[in-house]
Amino acid sequence: MKKVIVFLGVSLAFMSQIFADGKIPANVVALDKASNSYIDIHEVTIGDWNVFLDYIKGIDGENSLAYRGSFPNDDICRQAYKVEDYLTNPNFQNYPIVGITYEQARSYCGWRTDYENRNKKKSNTTIYMYSLPTESDLQNAYDLQTAKTSVKSIAPIDLKVKEIMNVADNVRELTVNKKVVLEAGANGLRFENYSDANANLGFRCKLILK
C-alpha cells in the first residue's frame, strides 16, 4: 500500500490518495462496478481547494486570471465560517469548500483529472476521469451511506471515516446537470435548479476508471 500526500507551496491541504491495489483510490466508493464508476467519500474540502489554488499559482502565477478566478467568494465563505482567514486557518481545512460556482467546480474536476493522471505510477495504465456527479449518482451514494442524520450548520469532515458520508446531511451538492441536492425525502433526494454560489453549496467528485 502506497500513500502519496500532496503538499504544494504552503498549503495545509489534506488531499491524499491511498491506492490499495495500485489503481483505485481508497477515498472513493464504488457506485457501479460494471461501468467502473466511483464517488468521493466526502465533499471537496477547503484543504483540497488550497492544493488546487497552489497548483494554478505555481503554473500561471498569482496575478493570472486563472488563479484569481479560482478563489471562492470571500463574502460567502466568511458568512459560512465566521472567520476572515478560512482558507489558511488550520481549524477549517477539513470543512467543505463553499462559495464556489458551477464553473469553478467543473474546473476543479478537470484539474484533478489531469493532475492525478500525470502523477500516477508509470506501471498504472488506468485513466482517471473526474467530473461532477449526476442526480442518480448522488441518489445511489445516499443509499449507500450509513449515517443519515441532518445537521443545521456546516460541520467538519472526519477524514478517518472510510464509508460514504454527508450526502444531503452537511452542505447541498452540485451535479453535472446544474441541479443541487435540496434535501432527503421519503422518496429519495430532492433537487432544485442551481442558481449561483452560496454559503451552503459544495460538491464532491465522481470518478470513472478507463
Tens of pLDDT along 32-87?
Answer: 888 899 999 999 999 999 999 999 999 999 999 999 999 999 999 999 999 999 99
The grid coordinates listed for 53 are 489554488
Which residue, 191, 134, 189, is CA-closest to 166?
189
Pick the closest to residue 194 from 205, 207, 181, 184 (CA basis).
181
Per-residue confidence (pLDDT) for residue 3, from 0 to 100: 31
Amino acid at position 190, single letter: R
DSSP states of 158-210 as a string?
A: -TT--S---TTTSSEEB-TTSEEEEEEETTEEEEEE--S--TTEE---EEEE-
Q: Give residue 6's pLDDT.
A: 31
Q: What is the pLDDT of residue 186?
A: 83
The percentage of the chain sitting over the pLDDT mark of 70, rounded to a whole number, equals 86
Handedness of CA 89, 4, 53, 72 (dihedral sign): negative
Q: What confidence score (pLDDT) does residue 149 get?
A: 55
Q: What is the DSSP pairing of strand 188-193 with strand 172-173?
A: unpaired
pTM check: above 0.85: yes
Q: Is 113 helix (H, G, I), strand (E, B) or coil?
A: helix
Q: Residue 18: what pLDDT?
A: 42
- Positions of the chain with pLDDT under 50: 1-20
For the beta sheet containing 128-131, the strands, ordered from the edge strand earlier in sequence to the opposite edge, are: 28-32, 37-40, 206-209, 128-131
What backbone phi and psi angles, to 5 degrees, belong to 37?
A: -105, 140
pLDDT at 19: 47
Query: What average pLDDT does the structure give for the chain?
Result: 86
Tell me what pLDDT residue 151 has.
61
